[in-house]
Amino acid sequence: MIYVILIALLASLIVNIFLLVALKKSFEQIDQLESWLLEFKLLVKNTYNKLKFVDDRGIFVKDDDVGFLFTDLLNIIELTNKRIQTDDNDKPTAINEKNKIETF
């Protein structure tokens, strides 16, 4: 009877150790994916800012052939702002109707 209990406790200990290691690996993977998402968000935001700097007079935004790029970038930025939560240190951005980035 005691041997059965000891074997069950040993098996439970082994399973708990295995689950602890799996949980640690999962947390590491989550942290890595979160950093990738934040880097992607920053990349998209910087790309939009560079495009706005190049098109300081608004010629490309109004052009039908190139203006879709700005519209698509605005949509991507809005989606990333909605889906990726930011820390308090990272200032979220909002895009107004005139396709400009404003920082809160």
Rounded Cα distance between 72 and 8, Å, is 59
* DSSP code of residue 103: E
> In residues, how long is the chain?
104
E-state strands within the chain: 93-95, 101-103
pLDDT digits (tens, 9 = 90+) for 20-31: 999 999 999 999
Q: Which of 16, 15, 19, 39 is nearest to 27 (CA)?
A: 19
The pLDDT, as a whole number, for residue 18 is: 97
pLDDT digits (tens, 9 = 90+) for 40-97: 888 878 887 887 787 777 777 777 777 777 778 778 877 877 777 665 455 544 444 3
The pLDDT, as a whole number, for residue 91 is: 52
